[in-house]
Structure 1
Amino acid sequence: MMKKKSSFSTQGQRGDIGDLEIYRMLPNRYADAVGPFVFLDHIVPTIRTTINKGGTGAHPHRGIATLTYILDGEDEHFDSAGNYALVHSGGVQWMNAGNGIIHDETLNYDSLTDSRLVHALQFWINLPSVIKAGKPAYLAVEGDAVPRKELPDRKGWIKVIAGEFEELRSAIPDYSEQFLYHIHLEADAVFEIVFESETEVAVYLPELPGVINDEKFNAGDFIEFDRKAGIMELHNNNQKACDVIVFGGAPYREPIFAEGPFVMNSKVDTAIAYRDFYNGDYGTIDYEKQRAAARG
């Protein structure tokens, strides 16, 4: 089987929030989506010495599921459907916005460890039109519940954040074919994945360079590949361990109209989403009530 060819590579656009340094990787100047994924922000490693208790700002969503993967730190989630959770390093916060929700997330250093490091990835997963009008849903997954396996010959490990890989299966719901892998490669390790025809797949190198199918890429590169069936060979040519994010899935076949926090299938749907939000239909967040309920 042939190795897949890269279609493009690009670096992200910076867009910080408060003291968090953030790079917008998707959408970019070449692509609006990779499979069902329409958004990727990288919150780069940041040392935080104080706890942010004020949140990053409540805001609405409709038509998507948000997925925050916390590599380091802890993420506190609130939403107007009454969901609350505090998830720590290695965990995932997933929320289906359905027909409209308001949520707020706050990234802080992990209160369970001595580390002051904050590092995360946030994805938006576009929902099929038949799901966009459904009820919101929510799932919190702590790090020790994320499916993980060691790679052969002590090459590293793979975590399945969404979708499946071999016998591993994520608890995150699938509404279409999707996969999101965190692959940790030891120095000079090589690992291969085979993808079927028509599958859209991208790779993100968050911190270190790497070689993919014999092509060298830089740290911070976002790379999309062709849709032909083929092999993806990941080679960590660094002198220390490297992390690789691989994600994608089946092409999204419906129209995509993204504006602000809403991703819908037409301009009319987007206008309705804004109207309903301004009418107060998405509800409100009761921060203290949700925190108190979690404490029991």
Structure 2
Amino acid sequence: MKQVISQHDVQPDQAGPFIIARALPNAATRFVGPIMLLDHLPPRDIAPGELRDPDGSFAHPHRGIATFTYVLEGALTHADSTGGHGTVNAGGVQWMKAGNGIVHDEMIATDLRTNGGTLHSFQFWVNLPAKHKAEPAQYLPVRAEDLPVAALPGGRGHLKVLLGSYNGSTAPIPIFSSEFIWHVRIEPTGSATVALPKGLPVAGFLPVQGAVVSGTEIAAHRSFMLADEGTEIDLVNSSAEPLDVLLFGGRPIGEPVAVRGPFVMNTEAELTDAFREFRAGTYGQINYPAAAG
């Protein structure tokens, strides 16, 4: 059984008009395999007409990583400089390989802004191996119904494969370093055992409520790192509400990492080139569709 070796509170940050919670990196962990960032937008009630229409001011570049957004409630709309465009509704995900450079904009979907509702989402950054940093950018939205769900032993929980594979079920999104992201849901007062990939770093996050993970009590809004030994964990939900747990990890890439703002490269010289090419307009511009947002 894998044991919890550390746990950490989230740190607040700002993303546009929203306060978010940064679960990774933290004081003890910079990377979990290739995964280098996890931001949580806690459930936020949006009144009809509260938010202004998108004006492009949130558009920003990326290079050298893949971004991965999971919408648990509400809806987000994406547009980018390669022509990628899509709206992801509750339960769906969107993956964007920034590759050799892209500009993108993530917007609150029109229906949510107009009629109000709740938005609850997560965003991961996944570092790319050097050869994939040099590839063209790519965007892929995936609907909730196209993501596999596996029942967990005992019948009191299930696991949704957001990225990577679990027990033979695979999400329809490219991976480059055995990375995986799973959403586990445990019924009220239930428990379940989750099998984990052997030999890969694994971490987790409790976004809404606490749980007992392999015998260790962990409070809500905390991330946790698991030990190398063992190939499974027990999750216990002692509350009267369903428990949500994100589990994620992958194989360390084993290359130098240089980070500056939204760019993740292998050397400082590559970062300098990335900024120079962005300022020169190499990443292109977003042509917003008429119905964007």
Q: State the TM-score, normalizing by the size of structure 2.
A: 0.93
- C-alpha separation in 2, matches of 1:215 and 1:225: 11
Deviation at 1:138, TM superposition (A): 1.1
Aligned position for 1:147? 148
Query: Which of these residues, 39, 42, 45, is aligned with residue 41 of structure 1?
Result: 39
CA deviation map 1:71-130 (0-9, x unaligned): 011110000001100111111111100100000101348659x87110000001110001
- C-alpha separation in 2, matches of 1:189 and 1:110: 35
Aligned position for 1:98? 99
Q: Sequence identity, in percent?
A: 37
8 Å contact kept, 1:158–1:183: yes
- C-alpha separation in 1, matches of 2:21 and 2:179: 23
Q: Aligned-residue CA RMSD in angstroms?
A: 2.0
* Residues 28 and 177 (structure 1), Cα distance of their counterparts in 2 relative to 1, 3 Å cut: same
Aligned position for 1:5? 3
Count of residue correspondences: 289
8 Å contact kept, 2:42–2:120: yes
**Long gaps (5+) in structure 1:** none
Aligned position for 1:178? 179
- C-alpha separation in 2, matches of 1:29 and 1:186: 32
CA deviation map 1:119-174 (0-9, x unaligned): 00000111000110001111011111111133344413211000001131101101
Aligned position for 2:128? 127
- Answering whether residue 53 of structure 2 is matched by residue 53 of structure 1, we say yes
**Matched AA of 2:27:** R
**Matched AA of 2:225:** E
CA deviation map 1:222-273 (0-9, x unaligned): 0011222332111112122110000001122111111100111111111111
8 Å contact kept, 2:87–2:109: no
**Matched AA of 2:108:** L
- C-alpha separation in 2, matches of 1:153 and 1:6: 22
Worse-superposed segment, 37-46 or 14-23: 14-23
8 Å contact kept, 1:149–1:158: yes
Worse-superposed segment, 194-203 or 129-138: 194-203
**1:232-247 equivalences in 2 (<5 Å):** 232-247=233-248
Aligned position for 1:107? 108
CA deviation map 1:155-204 (0-9, x unaligned): 13211000001131101101110111001101222211233443110010
Aligned position for 1:23? 21
Aligned position for 1:88? 89
- Answering whether residue 251 of structure 2 is matched by residue 253 of structure 1, we say no
